Amino acid sequence: MDKVCYIFPGQGSQYVGMGKDLYDNSPEARNIFDQAEEILPGLNLKKLCFEGPAEELTQTANSQVAIFVTSIAALRALGSRLKAEGAFVEPPAFSLEPACCAGLSLGEYSALVASGALEFPEAVRLVSQRGKLMEQAANNNPGTMASILGISAEDLSEVCMETGAEIANLNCPGQIVISGKTESVKKAMALAEQKGAKKAILLNVSGPFHSSFMKDSAGELKKELDKTKFLDPGIPIVSNVTADYEKTAEEIKENLVKQLYSPVKWEESVIKISQAGCNTFLEIGPGKVLKGLLRRINPGLTVYNIETSEDIKKFAN
């Protein structure tokens, strides 16, 4: 019997209208949005997610908490439907109880809630603070990111050493994201293409995330983490920083601090998970970014998107 892994998207997957269908059709999803607004009274989260405007939703301080809440709303709606269908009692070709969880950058916080390591009210406060801290760090250290296609990590590491850019995301074979000061990133883009990269694409982001320029915000995030109650995960969770399983609450907190300024090892994480017998993945939350990455990491993996009530209905049936 196949095992299933729950995976959650990161920043950049937001869009105006996300979560509206879940809110209208699932009491569990509605409760998550309503609860989030009670916890964060200064943010009109439902209006932001359902109506925009896009410019406001895209701001780091807003997009992170919006994506996180939408992802947990989808998770709760899915769990309710599967239990109602008796799916956990008599599973089909694979067990629907997740064997592990993982998330891309911000998505790791959704994975922590799914794994039982973090309660939703604590998590929504923490994610809100994380977004604000990262936006502040980006304002203090202006920079950007770029996606480099068709070059090895080794060759790109040499490019970064020459230009001052840094590797930020190891997403999938042939796709690596770099980060840093805008001048350094643009130099690295040009040099990478000279060294054989197929394409270098400047990303529409507000700062040099997952680079050493985030270390100031990492120190502030640690203070927030120390005030937050974490539990040892009930379901195994794979860390972005280590691409390995985290076993304790302290280990999780330590890696969440490092995550802000360390490369996201997504490709390695997915390989680790699939080697443990997880060949079915549920991408829970807005967008289909992770499905595309998993197809390039291992075309043999099965990925279901859980984004709307219709997705949940089709999957449950």
How far apart, in whole angstroms, are the C-alpha atoms of residue 279 and residue 109? Answer: 22
115 assigned to active site: no
pLDDT band at 88 (very low <50, low <70, confident <90, very high): very low
CA dihedral 304, 309, 310, 312 (to 10 degrees): 40
pLDDT band at 97 (very low <50, low <70, confident <90, very high): confident
Q: Which of 105, 110, 239, 309 is an active site residue?
A: 105
**The domains spanning 3-139+212-316 and 143-202 adopt the same CATH topology:** no
The edge-to-edge listing of strands for the beta sheet with 278-284 is: 245-246, 237-238, 100-103, 3-8, 278-284, 302-306
| Residue-level pLDDT at 93 | 46
| Residue-level pLDDT at 205 | 87
- pLDDT at position 84 over 80: no
**Chain segment 127-140, per-residue pLDDT in tens:** 999 999 999 999 99
Do residues 106 and 285 make contact, with C-beta atoms less than 8 angstroms apart? no
Do residues 9 and 103 make contact, with C-beta atoms less than 8 angstroms apart? yes
Q: Tell me what percent of the residues of the chain surpass a pLDDT of 70.
A: 96
105 assigned to active site: yes
CATH 3.40.640.10 fits 143-202, yes or no: no
The superfamily (CATH) of domain 3-139+212-316 is Malonyl-Coenzyme A Acyl Carrier Protein, domain 2 (3.40.366.10)
Give the pair of three-digit tokens for residue 245.
């399983």
Do residues 36 and 69 make contact, with C-beta atoms less than 8 angstroms apart? yes
Q: Which of 26, 184, 210, 262 is an active site residue?
A: 210
The edge-to-edge listing of strands for the beta sheet with 175-180 is: 166-172, 175-180, 144-149, 199-202
**Chain segment 247-267, per-residue pLDDT in tens:** 999 999 999 999 999 999 999
The ranges assigned to domains in the chain are 3-139+212-316, 143-202
